[in-house]
Structure 1
């Protein structure tokens, strides 16, 4: 079957394109079996890689690789066919870095010690955090990457210390019965004190309490030591308490010595006792006795004369007449 020149020309163009498509399809089909994470291509075969934290030895085969665990200060963070692990960065303690954890499966990040932060974005060395002075509070504490952030204590708050973590505290509010002795500042708290009224009230309560205690004690003593007279009435509390006080203090009333006591008295004491018993009170002759005035029913005037009554009549006697009248009666 003869073909026209146009048909032959189209066939020459189409056949090369079919060959290119077939070659691309073959390459795509050959690459599909390999896992890009755990396998690698070698001599047209998919070979196994060593896992994270290890490296591959030279004696490894394609399907059975020999892996070596990474050493100190080394790491491998993915599957690999490399024959050595990667070096960990060095965290110099002299630059205020803390000791690294040295995890085999990831790269170590050098961290500053507590109280320090990186001096620059590259974090080559660490510098201490800046503390907040008195009158300032910590807005945000420093960490590995940044310094402490301080803020001025607003009205009504204070801070009286230099601190890396202290915040501004509120002033103390004086309660009932208190007054403000000293106002708060940004570096000191409010000072409160009791009012004078409260002092007076406390003193009054103390005095009243003391009086009540004394009264209760007196009542207890009176009930304990008081006596009843023949009529059945309770003797005066004050009298009983006085008697009890005399009894407790050891003072005895003065009485005449008994016969037994006289035997033990010295001669000097006996003579003194006899002299005192022989003494008689001396009466003032110018002054009338109480017995005379009471017997006659007389009374004195402002001038010292006696007034007497007889048969319903009142007579004023002179001092001499009254004495004579009294003696004759």
Structure 2
């Protein structure tokens, strides 16, 4: 029993010594092998731990690694990679004292963090019949809304139908007829009125007739005069033959 008590006391004493040793290290030190060693500055790592004769030996972080705080690390932290497959791009390059800052690619928005984005998603596209109410940014998706009645869109901007009667560009105001009403995704379809071509032809024929009427009248009159003259000459010839 005494041996057990002795071992227990020994363990408690060892535990207290460890706690006291750790507690003795201040905020600018780290504990290693029972020693409190000075930390290395940001941008550096521990090359050799301190001992009872020498202080901590530090070295600069290797390429593509960093440390952004005083530390007792033997290797700096690896720089983050902005993966394009996650919709990311490099917003701020990694340095020995700061990690890479990622941001969303153009046309994408971050879905998990506002400062150092870890994953981004492509902006939504508005469907035909909708318009972009709010353009997407790095921090929010596109906001779509439905086009009002009497208009249509391809998913970007709403345009008024051509056949809106109150507007000057209606099919009727253009001298045409509506053959297809507008929908929320397509404009109205207009075509020329069938009577317009027929009226043009009729008016053209009337004009030609009016131009030709005087000439025709002159020809008819000349023919009548010539016929009368020929008829008078025939009667005179017959009378002369009878007298003989």
Calculate the TM-score normalised by the size of structure 2.
0.44
Return the structure number with greater relative CO, CA threshold 8 A, min gap 6: 2
Q: Which has the larger radius of gyration?
A: 1
